[in-house]
Each structure stands twice: as C-alpha cells, then as structure tokens.
Structure 1
Amino acid sequence: MHRGKGMKFVTDSRVSINNRMPNKSKDYSEYPGRTEAFWPNFLLREWMVGAVFLIGFMTLTIVEAAPLQNIADPTNTSYIPLPDWYFLFLYQLLKYQFAAGPYILMGTVILPGLAFTALLVAPWLDQGIERRPAKRPVAVSMMLLGIVSIIFLTWESVQTTHWDTIHKQGELTMNEGPEIDTAAKGYEIYSNQSCVNCHGKNLEGGAAAPALVGTQKTEDEIYEIADKGVGAMPAGQYEGSDADRKELAKFIASYGEGGENNK
C-alpha cells in the first residue's frame, strides 16, 4: 500500500495543534518525469532563463547604442516606413497580392488574428499530460507552423527590402546653421525677454516655436510681433523699452533669410 492511500485522518477542533509541520513541496514520486513541484523547481528554472535573457538584452544595449534618425516629417510622402525586425514578417505579408490592396483587411486583421488565436487556444486543443513532443502532435504542429512561418516571412522581407534606401532616408543630418553672436546686445535682450525658452539658445526653434534662423520676417514685422504676438505666441510677451525692441528685431532679422549673419 502506498503511503497515505486508503487512510482517513480525523481531528478534533478542540485539540490545539502545537507542532505544525513546515510547508513542504508535495511528493510527486508517483509521477516520475511527468510533473514537478512549482516551487522551487519550476519557478527557479523560469527565473534563471529570464535572467539570462535580461542580462543578454542589457549587454546588447550597452555594446551597440540605438541608432538615431531624423525627426519624423509627416509631409514627406516619399518616406518608406519600416517596422522593427520582430514585425518584419507581418510587413512582408502585406506585400503579397492576397493580403494587400483591396484585400488589405486580410493581411492586417484576418490572417494575423487567426494565427495568434490558434496559438492562444492551442493549450485547450491539446490537454495531454505528456511532455514529450512526439506525444503532443497538435500543440507541437501548431507551434512549428508558427515558427517556420515567422522565420520564412522575416527572411523574405530581409531579402526583398531595399536597405540602402531605407538607411539613407533615416540618416541623422545636423544642420548647424550660422554661429550666433552671443555677445551682441540683441542676444542679451533676446535672452532677458525669455525668447530663448521657446526659440532656443541658437534661434533653432523648438516644439512650441519656429526657428528664427532663416526666417522670412522683416525687421519691421519682427518688431510688431514682439509686441502683438502671432499664431500661438500671445501679445504682451515683450516687456522692454521701444529702443530695445528695435535692437531685438534687428538682431533676429540679421539671421533671417538674406540677413547679414545668415551665411
């Protein structure tokens, strides 16, 4: 008779139990090779695998810095969008006639949805307790089909993509522009009036304000804008004297289109 089988234990709730047994993993000796304790056997192995991948990922990010590209330009219709490498198989799917054009819904929703749903329900389609691949034909077949499809489509995408064009269009180009005379009186006014907060210390502009280098505004127009504002810039931003406002307008205009300092 196996230990514990066919035996019933009856306790009296009025009798206190002083010698409680510590928490121990269940005895799985009756199921050799079929199952194991979740703690610590299974969970520890999962943690170790996760730690290896995490350390490897961190090492790659340290050794190979992420490449920088140009700022996105929504007006550039010639730009060829390209997803990251782990989505190339879906990108390649859209190149086939049956999943593009009038059938774009097939390539973007139906086929990927069916594939991921099949992998999601695979554990319920094959509920066998065996762990050997040969004994799990449904789950193993679906997983192999998914892996082979992803590898093939990714390889096809790599082979058919014009990488020279892709890399060239994303090259980061730095437009240094003219050297700003920070010792000029106009620049001192520019800084004191907090223009630098929105337009940048080198008049390069920012997310909330346009660049002043190469501006097409005339000196008189800049003089008026400094007081009355324009677009998202409200009126009353300038708080200095009239003479300083003229000096500020002259300074900014000198770096505008055709200005003496815009060379």
Structure 2
Amino acid sequence: MAHGHKSDEKIVYVGDSRVQAKTTRMIPQDFSAYPGKSEVFIPNFLLKEWMVGVVVLMGILVLVMSEAAPLGYPADPTNTEIIPMPDWYFLFMYQLLKYPYTSGSWVVLGTVGVPGILFGALLLAPFLDTGKERRFYKRPIASALMFLSLIAVSYLTVFSWQHYTHELKSKNIIPEHIKREQEMHAGGGEGGGGAKKPAAAQAAAIVAPDDPAASLYQKSTCLQCHGGDLKGMPSAKIPALRGVGDKHDKTEILGIIKNGQGNMPGQYDANIAKGLSADDIDKLADWLSKQKK
C-alpha cells in the first residue's frame, strides 16, 4: 500500500481481490438414499418453482386484463331482493355456514372452529408426516386426508352455486351486474352512452304538489321506499308513484295500502302507528290517484 508518489517507495499488498479460477468442478450430491429426490432445494428446485409461479401469475394477469370486472348498481340497503354471494374461492365456506351445526348458536364452530382445525392441520402436516416416501399411494393417511378435503371443498362449492342459481330462477331475479350490463348495451345500441331512464319516469311529474295530502305523504311510510320525489327505486324493483293514477284508482290504492302488493306488505296499520288517521289515509289515496301523466 503506497502513501505517496515516490518511485522508490515500497508497495505492500494487503490482499488480492482477483477472483480465482476454480480448477475442480462441483460434484452433485448423492441423493440415492432419498427416493424421488434428485437435486438440491436451494437454488435448483426453488428456481424452477419460482419460474412456474411467474408463468401462472402472468396467465392470471392476462385473464384479469382481458375481462372487465362486473359492476352492479350502487349499494342499496333497502333492496331486500338481492342475494349476496362471496367470491368463488369462498363458496365452500359460504355453503358450510348454511348448515345448522355451523350456524345459529353453533356459528363460532363454523367460523372459527372448523377453519381453525383445517388450517392448523395444514400447518402441522410437515411436522407430523416426516416420512421420506413421496409417492402418494405409499402415504395412505396423508393422501386420504388430501382427497377427502378436495372432495368436500369441491362438493360444497358446486352445491352452493347450484343453490344460488336455483334461487335466482325461483325468485325470477337477474343479478345486478348482468342487468346493468344489459341496460348499458341497450342504451349504447340506441345511440346513448348508458342505460336510458324509463319514459314514464322522465315524462310524469308530481300532480298537485301543494295539496295538503302531499304533506301527509311526507309523514307516511310510503316515503321510505318510494322517496320524497315519488320516483321509487328501480334497482330494487320499487315502482315510482308518478303516474300511478293511470294504473290504479283511489279504491285500488286504498286496497294496496291495506293489503299490500307483491313484496310490499300492508301499510295501513303502520301509517296509523305513525299518527295518520283513517281520514288522512283516505286523502292520501285520493291524492295518489291523481298522479297521472
């Protein structure tokens, strides 16, 4: 190591940073004592697994980018007809929680107990199954548990989806993301950028908004679902009251208030409980019958 520019200064080397060429080749380990094992885990096996993971991830990214995520309507807490569904990889747990022994008073068993046992067994598997044999047909206990888990998860997933589709058909419900996509396509086909509003909702207006019965409407239970503007909630299949007089007369509207219609129960007693009298309800029905185009 030199400290100056003198030509006669002694140079002392403290180390050699040059990479030395190896004269001997690496000899692969002998795995003959381990049936089925032919290479070291790090880096050979791990590198191949990483490459497979990259290919799978790229395939998932291509699928995600090729198909847009389905979007439904904005969240509506008053919509009681929607059937909530989890993503497909949680369908088996969704179906499991429908059974009486994993729901109700047993819900802790279904949400914590069963998943805890399954994932706990998965974590303990490497410590419990320490045999050197890798062929599945020579590991009966581990293989039986694996096949039993696959069969159970597959059955619960398929059965959950079949039950969901059966509910849609029996209740005549179209999933929101499909309905919205149909509306967007219909609107785009007619030259619009999105779903068109029904002509009745655009043309009809509130008749006699200054009528005293209009203030009775604001106090009634009708307000909660049909809204202060009488437009209803089309996404939840709650019809608008604008133009309702073209479909029903006063007597029919009184009958609907008393007996209900479709999914709506009778509202007569509920309105009495809110402070409306029988005469007020009669005036309200008369005012609603005037709501015509």
TM-score calculated relative to the size of structure 1: 0.53
Name the amino acid aligned to 1:123.
P
Superposition deviation, residue 168 in structure 1: 2.7
Q: Which moved more, 1:125-134 or 1:167-176?
A: 167-176
After the TM superposition, which parts of structure 1 deviate over 6 Å for at least 4 consecutive aligned residues? 22-26, 173-177
* Root mean square deviation of aligned Cα: 3.6
Match of 2:211 in 1: none
Residue 204 (structure 2) aligns with: none
1:12-161 residue pairs with structure 2 within 5 A? Answer: 19=20, 21=22, 27-31=28-32, 33-161=36-164
Report how far residue 141 of structure 1 moved: 2.4
8 Å Cα contact 1:94-1:104 kept in structure 2:
yes
**What is the aligned length?**
168
In 1: Cα distance, 2:195 partner to 2:24 partner: 67
CA distance in 2, matches of 1:58, 1:86: 17
Give the distance between the partners of 1:63 and 1:69, measured in 2 at CA.
19
Contact kept in structure 2, 1:125 and 1:138, CA below 8 Å: no
**1:26–1:78 distance in 2 versus 1, CA, 3 Å:** farther
In the TM superposition, residue 85 of structure 1 has moved relative to its aligned partner by 0.6
| 1:145-170 Cα distance to aligned partner (Å, 9 max, x none) | 22111111101111111345664345
2:69 aligns to what SS in structure 1?
coil
2:24 and 2:156 map into 1 onto residues whose CA distance is: 50
Determine the structure 2 residue equivalent to 1:168.
175
d(CA) in 1 for partners of 2:122 and 2:140?
14
- Report the alpha carbon displacement of residue 176 of structure 1 after superposing the two structures with TM: 6.6
Q: Is the 8 A contact 1:123 1:139 kept in 2?
A: no
TM-score (norm 2): 0.48
Verify the 8 A CA contact 2:97 2:107 in the aligned structure 1: yes
**Structure with more contact order per residue of length (Cα contacts < 8 Å, sep ≥ 6):** 2
Give the Cα separation in 2 of the matches to 1:61 and 1:105.
35
Range moving further from structure 2, 129-138 or 111-120: 129-138
Please identify which structure carries the higher helix content.
2
Change (3 A) 1:166 1:83: farther
CA distance in 2, matches of 1:22, 1:78: 77
> How many angstroms apart in 2 are the aligned matches of 1:99 and 1:23?
64
Report the Cα distance in structure 2 between the residues aligned to 1:24 and 1:104, rounded to whole angstroms: 62
Consecutive unaligned residues of structure 2, counting only runs of 5 or more, are 1-15, 184-193, 198-226, 230-292
2:113 and 2:43 map into 1 onto residues whose CA distance is: 41
1:168-209 deviation digits (Å, cap 9, x = unpaired): 3454376777xxxxxxxxxxxxxxxxxxxxxxxxxxxxxxxx
Gaps of 5+ in 1: 1-15, 178-213, 217-262
- Write out per-residue CA displacement over residues 96-152 of structure 1, whole angstroms, 9 at most, x where no aligned residue: 121122222222221122112112211111011222112333332222222111111
